[in-house]
């Protein structure tokens, strides 16, 4: 503690990163009053699945630096691609100009994406990818040549949905803790109940429910289809609300209902895309073809900010016309089509192909789930372990039999995160859900260490909470 009389720090001394951070920064989703009292972890380098602090302590990056990293840190192929592009040009505008990595990446994304998607619109984060999809869907219905329907101007989304933090993305969000404050700023939407089976909103018990829940979507579409432009969904897995999973067949049922009721299906694969669920895109598991597809997070392998909104030819065509018809999509960002980010994304896709990343995932996924069952399956504080591929949520409960949750104020998740850090593991639990989202490149011994670490932290924190 410094006393009022302690001499001022001489201006010649270099302040530490921690000092500068606490003096000048404001962190996302962080109570800064707490942050200012803590010693921040300063990451100075990374390699593979590990991040290192200034003292050289290694931390297993169990959340893929919040769901973005795929092939580990300092991946040679991506490092080289960015350097090579840097030797040409770092950035040029996409207004009236184009560039080779952006054009080539668009072709590769269209080749990889579910059928029917024909055009790529770039931006630089997941929230803007969703904003763009919403605005495209809205404008599309106004401009259809054969049957314009401007009254189709509303959106549907699920309860517990997370689509980003800008105002449009927040409007289609369904997480009360994050979104309720901004209610007055948001446009009205229709929120549909999500089949959170462990805490079934209809009081059914999975698997005897037999997709009862699809009836809710059908009823909502029947009532609101005439005024609804699109239905925004996180395919298979709602990530940010705690890895809530759709029951099998649910996604394709929702997609069919949207098609039948003439409502655009907007798939937000910002979290699920690029291999996390075991396939390149989650939609593939149920052969779903969305009208708009939002991609970001893993698109550059976790290297640079980039996002893409993919649209069908049908949607694209509705924006064509003579200039003075003003059918243009008046939207863009300063860094649209950034060549460095697109070069990183191309290298990311090369890694998928050259290293057969998806083909080599199944044994890793099986190992992870076997470890989870073994170390946590019967734990009294573990209510449910759920997820898809390498996306896992472990919901902790005070009472396994009654499913009574820990009160949020007990901050069980936060405390587990801290306990894990002292073991050299980085995870960021969400509420009472411990989320594992390791890089696709994580090895089996590293997965074992990750799950054992979680077991130890759960033992330590949950027995006295």
Residue 273 as a binder of ligand PLP (CB under 6 A): the answer is: no
Size of the site for ligand PLP (CB under 6 A): 15
**Contact predicate 257/217, CB 8 Å:** yes
As measured in angstroms, the least distance from the Cβ of 157 to ligand PLP is 11
118-147 residues in contact with ligand PLP (CB under 6 A) are 125-127, 130
How many CA atoms within 13 Å lie on the side-chain side of 446?
A: 23
287-306 residues in contact with ligand PLP (CB under 6 A) are 296-297
> Looking at 1-9, 158-166, 187-195, 321-329, which segment touches ligand PLP (CB under 6 A)?
158-166
**C-alpha–C-alpha distance, residues 279 and 112, integer Å:** 11
End-to-end CA distance of the chain: 32
Provide the token pair at 219. Answer: 């009823």
**Contact predicate 240/433, CB 8 Å:** no
H or E stretch including 205?
A: none
Residue selected from 136, 271, 372, 462 as contacting ligand PLP according to rule CB under 6 A? 271
Q: How many CB atoms lie within 10 A of CB 459?
A: 12
Per-residue x/- mask for ligand PLP, residues 82 to 121, rule CB under 6 A? Answer: ----------------------------------------
Residue 189 as a binder of ligand PLP (CB under 6 A): the answer is: no
As measured in angstroms, the least distance from the Cβ of 176 to ligand PLP is 17
Q: What's the distance, CA 332 to chain centroid?
A: 22
The residue number with the shortest CB distance to ligand PLP is: 126
User: Which residue carries 């980003």 as its tokens?
Assistant: 164
Please, which residue, 309 or 371, has the CB nearer to ligand PLP?
309
As measured in angstroms, the least distance from the Cβ of 439 to ligand PLP is 16
Residue selected from 240, 245, 304, 433 as contacting ligand PLP according to rule CB under 6 A? 240
Residue selected from 61, 131, 268, 395 as contacting ligand PLP according to rule CB under 6 A? 268
Residue 382 as a binder of ligand PLP (CB under 6 A): the answer is: no
**Beta-carbon contacts of residue 464 (< 8 Å; ≥ 6 apart):** none
**Contact predicate 310/281, CB 8 Å:** no
Residue 241 as a binder of ligand PLP (CB under 6 A): the answer is: no
Helix residue ranges per DSSP H, 386-426: 412-422
Residue 61 as a binder of ligand PLP (CB under 6 A): the answer is: no
As measured in angstroms, the least distance from the Cβ of 159 to ligand PLP is 15
Q: What's the distance, CA 301 to chain centroid?
A: 13
- Residue 412's nearest CA partner among 456, 461, 379, 377 is 461
Residue 214, phi then psi, degrees to nearest 5: -60, -30
Please, which residue, 128 or 312, has the CB nearer to ligand PLP?
128
Residue 234 as a binder of ligand PLP (CB under 6 A): the answer is: yes
As measured in angstroms, the least distance from the Cβ of 239 to ligand PLP is 5
Residue 231 as a binder of ligand PLP (CB under 6 A): the answer is: no
> Looking at 55-63, 160-168, 173-181, 319-327, which segment touches ligand PLP (CB under 6 A)?
160-168
Please, which residue, 29 or 202, has the CB nearer to ligand PLP?
29
**C-alpha–C-alpha distance, residues 382 and 400, integer Å:** 7
**Contact predicate 433/242, CB 8 Å:** yes
H or E stretch including 203?
A: none
Residue 163 as a binder of ligand PLP (CB under 6 A): the answer is: yes
Residue 242 as a binder of ligand PLP (CB under 6 A): the answer is: no
Helix residue ranges per DSSP H, 118-263: 126-143, 167-171, 176-179, 214-224, 250-260
Exposed, middle or buried: residue 14 (CB in 10 Å: 0-12, 13-18, 19+)?
A: exposed
Residue 372 as a binder of ligand PLP (CB under 6 A): the answer is: no
Helix then strand then coil, in percent of the chain rounded to 5, is 40, 15, 45
Residue 348 as a binder of ligand PLP (CB under 6 A): the answer is: no
Please, which residue, 255 or 267, has the CB nearer to ligand PLP?
267
Residue 283 as a binder of ligand PLP (CB under 6 A): the answer is: no
As measured in angstroms, the least distance from the Cβ of 151 to ligand PLP is 27
> Looking at 133-141, 162-170, 436-444, 449-457, which segment touches ligand PLP (CB under 6 A)?
162-170
The answer, yes or no, to whether the previous bond of 265 is cis (omega within 30 of 0) is no
Provide the token pair at 329. Answer: 């999509």
**C-alpha–C-alpha distance, residues 405 and 431, integer Å:** 10
Residue 270 as a binder of ligand PLP (CB under 6 A): the answer is: yes
Binding site for ligand PLP (CB under 6 A): 125-127, 130, 162-164, 234, 239-240, 268, 270-271, 296-297
């Amino acid at each position: 503690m410094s006393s009022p009389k302690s001499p001022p720090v001489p201006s010649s001394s270099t302040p530490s990163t921690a000092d500068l951070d606490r003096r000048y920064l404001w962190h996302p989703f962080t109570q800064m009053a707490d942050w200012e009292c803590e010693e921040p972890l300063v990451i100075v380098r990374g390699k593979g699945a590990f991040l290192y602090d200034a003292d050289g302590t290694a931390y297993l990056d169990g959340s893929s630096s919040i769901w973005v990293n795929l092939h580990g840190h300092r991946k040679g192929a991506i490092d080289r691609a960015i350097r090579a592009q840097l030797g040409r040009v770092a950035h040029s505008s996409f207004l009236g100009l184009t560039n080779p990595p952006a054009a080539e990446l668009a072709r590769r994304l269209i080749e990889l994406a579910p059928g029917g998607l024909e055009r790529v619109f770039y931006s630089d984060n997941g929230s803007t990818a969703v904003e763009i999809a919403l605005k495209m869907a809205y404008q599309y219905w106004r401009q259809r040549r054969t049957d314009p329907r401007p009254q189709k101007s509303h959106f549907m989304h699920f309860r517990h949905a997370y689509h980003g933090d800008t105002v449009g993305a927040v409007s289609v969000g369904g997480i009360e803790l994050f979104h309720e404050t901004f209610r007055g700023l948001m446009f009205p939407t229709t929120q549909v109940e999500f089949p959170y089976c462990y805490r079934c909103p209809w009081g059914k018990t999975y698997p005897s429910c037999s997709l009862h829940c699809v009836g809710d979507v059908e009823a909502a579409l029947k009532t609101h289809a005439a005024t609804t432009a699109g239905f925004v969904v996180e395919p298979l897995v709602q990530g940010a609300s705690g890895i809530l999973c759709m029951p099998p067949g649910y996604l394709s049922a929702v997609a069919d209902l949207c098609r039948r009721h003439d409502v655009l299906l907007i798939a937000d694969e910002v979290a699920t895309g690029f291999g996390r669920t075991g396939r390149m895109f989650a939609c593939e598991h149920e052969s779903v073809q969305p009208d708009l597809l939002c991609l970001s997070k893993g698109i550059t392998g976790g290297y640079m900010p980039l996002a893409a909104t993919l649209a069908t030819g049908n949607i694209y065509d509705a924006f064509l016309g003579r200039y003075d018809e003003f059918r243009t999509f008046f939207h863009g960002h300063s860094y649209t089509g950034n060549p460095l980010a697109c070069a990183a994304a191309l290298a990311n896709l090369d890694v998928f192909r050259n290293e057969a990343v998806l083909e080599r995932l199944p044994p890793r996924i099986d190992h992870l789930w076997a470890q989870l069952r073994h170390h946590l399956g019967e734990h009294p504080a573990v209510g449910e372990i759920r997820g898809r591929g390498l996306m896992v949520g472990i919901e902790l409960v005070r009472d396994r039999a009654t499913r009574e949750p820990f009160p949020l104020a007990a901050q069980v998740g936060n405390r587990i995160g801290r306990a894990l850090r002292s073991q050299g593991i980085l995870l960021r639990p969400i509420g009472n859900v411990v989320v594992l989202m390791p890089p696709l490149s994580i090895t089996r011994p590293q997965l074992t260490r990750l799950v054992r670490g979680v077991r130890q932290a759960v033992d330590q924190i949950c027995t006295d909470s």
